[in-house]
Structure 1
Amino acid sequence: MPLVLWLLLIFDFSSQTYSQQSIIPFMREHIPEHRLQQIVPDVTIQYNHSVIHAKADPYRFVEFLFRKSAHLFMYFMLGLLAHLLLVPWIRSLALRVTGALVVVALFASLDEWNQSFTGGRTPTPLDVMVDISGAVIGQIVLFVIIMIYRRMKRPGRRAIYS
């Protein structure tokens, strides 16, 4: 059930227009542009067919970072939920990781396709790669947690701080 709810949440977000999701109006209202220009680094990002100059357009730069971070987080969680769903059926950790990443890649692709029908949104394969990256990070975190748990659970293990 948590996986289905998370998928529905992602689908809901991808069905919103750009203007419904934009944080630029909120930032313009609460953060003066000159103040934001002092904070952002002097970098230029080329993503898809856009070029974003942080100092020249700090609102757009911050929003870009926010949106890509949201992609990473949403698919980090989707990857974890997909992995946990596979636990009862797949014993091999490697196969569960692979299965979770396949689920994420398929849904990320469908998500981008859905955005092609949404106003002001630009579907791009690069976003699918960002989404998969979020899931890979999630799988790495989960792997580290599992390894730590297994190490702590080992019989005859001496306490570190005794």
Structure 2
Amino acid sequence: MNKLELKEQITKLAELIYTNLHKLEYSNQFSSRAKEFLNSDELKQIHRIAYTASAYKGENRESLEHILTVAKNLMEYSNSAVDSSKHTYEAYGVEFLEHENEYAGICSVKPGLDWKKAMFVISHHFGKKIVFMVRETNSFEVALMNRWKMPVEDSNITGYHKCVMSVVWQMARAYKGR
């Protein structure tokens, strides 16, 4: 492989690594480890080669091959961490669970949450609909549902309101507020 091909492979891996690390950054289980990797010298070197136009030209081929190997190892780690995590995340007081299909489900909400920022994180990082089963007996959840005018898809479920929020709805809340 020539130097340009090595740089292109490093760039592709860098994009995937950043995507995984940003997902893990909001994971309850891996957030501190993801932040460590985002500040690591290895990732900074990968970033420099991938995103600086002429940085790869100053490196010899063996050095680029080593950086590619490091990027592959970091990619393996980040993939396994994403796969092994329970896919529960917390963003600004909203804990949610990422499902394999097109939904993310809200597990719990905490008093003092920042709904606007949480919608921004969820919509940008996952791009999925959110399902929130609002318990009728939980006055905080009901007040939150009413305050943010969450779209109720099914209110015939005993004890719950099923709110389904599209990505467009999430982004509207993230950028405009209520």
More strand by share: 2
* TM-score between the two structures when normalised by the length of structure 2: 0.25
**Structure with larger RCO (C-alpha < 8 A, sep 6+):** 1
More helix by share: 1
Normalising by structure 1, what TM-score? 0.27
